[in-house]
Amino acid sequence: MVSCTVHNDETTPHLAAYVVPLVERPVKTRKRSVIVGKGEDGKPIRAIKEFTDPGGVSLCAKEFLGGRQKLRDMQTDFAETVGKKYGLERGIEHSMAKHQSIRAFYGLIQRPVQNVTIKPSAIQPQLLKKGLLTSEFESDEMVAIRLTNAVQSAYAPAVAKAKLLETSQRRIRQIENTVKYADTRIDSLAKDLAKARLDAGQIAMTVAKGGDELLKLHEILKEKLIRSPENERSNDRGFSR
């Protein structure tokens, strides 16, 4: 770690850490197939040789980040260690949602909706420049642009709310996709669990069957031992006494 600083100059205090991802690599021996010559037919001859990696210290960001799964595990661990005691919940894993800024969200819902009323006088070309002999008025194209801008400005909040509704619907679809993905994972895990239980049951039956066979074998050996000639002679001598 190069430095670690807490910033209190903003509304939300935050910490900035600068880390150099130095990783110590151990000495390793690896095998490779290399060309050691050519045969009589001219084809290359290969052989397996060992090479030693001396190891040392190198830069490796993957050791800290480690791909998607390691980042998910990091977020889960952070939520359990830090967020949980403050009442914060971890986000949905494998979520398909996309980020929307707070400013954009509140900007959409706080703008009022206005009713548009176009008066007959608004359709008439307005005076642009008054002269002594002639005056300059709006052209038909300018009137159309002015009225269009007025309508768009008045209905902009309504359009924004419609976009908010669209955003909410998109959010719902994203959650549905996340749930479907989770259901697929659950089904897959359930099948694996059922297979594991079936395998465990078969193993238990095999062990039980083997135990029964061992008991039977033990009884047979015991019976043979009792009926052996030495035991019979011993019993006869004992009876003669």
- Residue 65: which of 57, 77, 74 has the closest Cα? 74
| Per-residue pLDDT, 224 | 66
pLDDT tens profile 23-63? 888 888 888 888 888 888 888 888 888 888 888 888 888 87
Query: Over 50: is that where the pLDDT of 239 sits?
Result: no
Q: What are the domain boundaries of the chain?
A: 1-25+56-91, 102-186
pLDDT at 191 over 80: yes
Written as one letter, the residue type at 135 is S
What pLDDT sits at residue 105? 65
160, with CB counted inside 10 A (0-12, 13-18, 19+), is middle
Decide if 21 contacts 60 (C-beta within 8 A): yes
Q: What are phi and psi of 113, to 5 degrees?
A: -100, 130
1 CB contacts (<8 Å, ≥6 apart)?
A: 17, 18, 19, 20
Q: What is the pLDDT of residue 236?
A: 53
Average pLDDT of the residues in 150-157:
74
Segment 55-79 shows an average pLDDT of 84
Q: Please determine, for residue 11, whether its predicted confidence score (pLDDT) is greater than 50.
A: yes
Model-level pTM? 0.31
